[in-house]
Amino acid sequence: MPRWLLLVSPHPDDIAFSLGGLIGQLKLPATLLTLFGRSNYTVANALQNDEREITLLRREEDRTFAKNNSLQWCYHEFPAAGLRFGGNWDKIFDNAAEPQKAVRAEMPKWNGPLRAAARLACGKGPPPAIIMLPAGLGNHHDHLLVREIFHKYAQEQDRPVAFYEDLPYALDLSESEIKAHMTEIDGSLKPQLLPFVDDTDDKVRRTTCYRSQVDEAVLRRLRLAGVRYGISAERIWSEVSNVSRIDLLR
Please say whether the dihedral angle defined by the alpha carbons of residues 219, 139, 43 and 56, taken in this order, is positive or negative. Answer: positive
What is the residue-wise DSSP string for 105-152? HHHHHHHHHHHHHHHHHH-SSSPPSEEEEE--TT--HHHHHHHHHHHH
Shortest-Cβ-distance residue relative to Zn ion:
11
Quote the least distance from Cβ 238 to Zn ion, whole Å: 20
Total chain residues near Zn ion (CB under 5 A):
3
Q: Cβ(127)–Cβ(243) under 8 Å?
A: no
- Closest approach of Cβ 65 to Zn ion, in Å? 14
Report, in Å, the least distance between residue 11 CB and Zn ion: 4
38 touches Zn ion (CB under 5 A): no
Site for Zn ion, residues 6 to 35, rule: CB under 5 A:
10-11, 14
Nearest CA-CA partner of 27 in 4, 57, 58:
4
Using alpha carbons only, what angle is made at residue 183 by residues 178 and 186, rounded to the nearest 5 degrees? 130
Minimal CA–CA distance to 144: which of 88, 186, 102?
102
Closest approach of Zn ion to the CB of residue 236, in Å: 17
Which range of residues in 2-10, 24-32, 87-95, 103-111 is near Zn ion by CB under 5 A? 2-10
Specify the residue, 84 or 245, whose C-beta has the smaller distance to Zn ion: 84
Window contacting Zn ion (CB under 5 A); options: 3-11, 79-87, 123-131, 220-228: 3-11
Question: Under the rule (CB under 5 A), what is the footprint of Zn ion?
Answer: 10-11, 14
